[in-house]
Amino acid sequence: MKPFLTALLWLSLSSVFGQTLYYQVYKGKKSIGQMTIERSQNMAGSVVSYDISTEVRYRVILELLVNYSLNEVFENGILTKGQGSSTINGSIQNAYEIQRNGNSYELVLNNTHSVIDDHVITLSATTIYFNEPKNNQRLFSQHFGRYLKLEEVSAHYYRLLSSAGENFYRYVNGICTEITVIRDFGTLNFNLKPESYVIVNTPDSLRNK
């Protein structure tokens, strides 16, 4: 078989299915940024990758441009690796990386190494946008380097408490449509954009496969 046809066949067989959620970010009534969350999987569905990218611009005393990124890869439902960072006006505030090694995880958080023994991470900060959690379920956060607990405060509405503040998540048909982030500097609201609601309302969407 000719090299070009071989490469074309390989690309066809290794093609990836994906979905993207787009959120507009508000502080009060003012739009200050956006968040994009992508999920992709291989043809077999055994490997799923999540990517979060957030950019917001707001003023406390000075104008701040905050960027946040996070990538995580799951194989057969188990987190195998990930990395992310957050910056303010281009200066790195936090950087983290995680790698599964046998029955444990190696975590590097701001150049500090640690090991999480005898754990299988199946729920994390990236997965909860496409999958509604259960009450009192724990998720792992690379950003904080530990598990956080989700509490259902009303139907399809969850509270996540961390050392930074509170997050609230609302779900429709298993997809997160609203996030409220409460911090010392104020409250941010993330609203799912209209073009992403096709994912919420599609019964045979990727989340059901």
5-22 confidence digits (pLDDT tens) = 433 333 333 445 789 999
pTM of the model: 0.85
Distance CA 113, CA 110 (A): 8
pLDDT digits (tens, 9 = 90+) for 38-84: 999 988 889 999 999 999 998 888 899 999 999 999 999 999 999 99
The answer for 136, left when phi > 0, alpha when psi is -120 to 50, beta otherwise, is left
Residues with Cβ within 8 Å of 130's Cβ and at least 6 positions away in sequence, in order, are 19, 21, 37, 39, 50, 174, 175, 176, 206, 207
